[in-house]
Amino acid sequence: METMKKEQLAKFFEKYAIYVILLAMIVVMSILRPESFLSVNNFTNIMRQMSVIGVMSLGVTFCIITAGTDLSGGSVVAVSSIVAAIFASTEDQGGVMILVAILAAILAGAIAGLLNGLVIAYGKVPPFIATLGMMSIARGIAMILSGGGPIGSFTEPFNEIGSGMIGGFLPYPVIIFAICSFLAYTLLHKSKFGTYVYAIGGNENAALVSGLSVNKVKTAVYVLAGIFYGVAAIVLTSRQQAGIPSVGIGYDMEAITCAIIGGSSFSGGIGTIGGNIVGAIRCYKWTPTGKPL
């Protein structure tokens, strides 16, 4: 009986350890600095700060569950940011160019993801190598498109995407992250596509023998990751009020860290969107004052 209880306890901590640790951190910070940490402004700031990396980590989670990875996230964000900035800085009439900027950034991310997916799935190139190559290519394209300098002078509505709020307390970036998280959760946990992703990560050969189109699913996973990078780029570009070709350096590692801390495994077949969200919050640089380092 005692052995059974220990096993149950071990399974509980294995599944919910990340949530327990996050709760413990909140309790400690609340005790150390209740006046600054336990405030609406602070929690709003935390969610706003981690929204860009959080959106990126959603895409990375899908890649890792298939036993892959994506090192190109930061560079794809950079090129998507420049693409968005090019259109957002164009003289606008009726908000048309803002919509074009958003769609163009997402399309740029999707194209980068498609190239990653094709090289990995059909070219049989290891994800580490393929995405490492895309990291350099995307960064180079960002430099070429921008001329090596920032692109700014956006309209106020575009700037509102990254700095605006609903009701004076709920930032748009947090809403965007919540919507992306819901869509990612639905795809991974409530659809056949998610089942296929887990099957490939669990045992790719078995998935292939069972008739699953492994190459198509893998390609779709990296396209999806690219779309999330495009969305993250829109938020980041709006917040910075400029498209900067050097932006996003190290973001890929942070996004991967969020996914791993959230319970995803490089061995594949393991990972959840809920854990990923907690991992993204956990990766935020906490201090006793409740402010970022």
Q: Name the band, by pLDDT with cuts 50, 70 and 90, for residue 165.
A: confident
Segment among 19-28, 96-105, 120-129, 253-262 with least mean pLDDT: 19-28
Q: Name the band, by pLDDT with cuts 50, 70 and 90, for residue 76.
A: very high
The model carries a pTM of 0.88
Give me the pLDDT at residue 288, please: 45
Helix/strand/coil for 46 = helix
Give me the pLDDT at residue 44, please: 76
Give me the pLDDT at residue 287, please: 45
Q: Map tokens 């290519």 to a residue.
A: 137
The predicted model gives 54-68 an average pLDDT of: 95
List, in sequence order, every residue forming a beta bridge with 151; answer none if it has no partner: 243
Neighbouring residues of 61: CB distance < 8 A, sequence distance ≥ 6: 184, 188, 259, 262, 264, 271, 273, 276
Domain spans, the chain: 56-283
Give me the pLDDT at residue 290, please: 43
Q: Name the band, by pLDDT with cuts 50, 70 and 90, for residue 4.
A: low
- pLDDT at residue 8 is higher than 90: no
CA distance 252 to 286: 20
- pLDDT at residue 33 is higher than 90: no
Give me the pLDDT at residue 293, please: 37
Give me the pLDDT at residue 185, please: 96
CA distance 260 to 251: 14
CA distance 252 to 76: 9
20 or 164: which leads in pLDDT: 164
Q: Name the band, by pLDDT with cuts 50, 70 and 90, for residue 284.
A: low
CA distance 235 to 230: 9
Give me the pLDDT at residue 2, please: 63
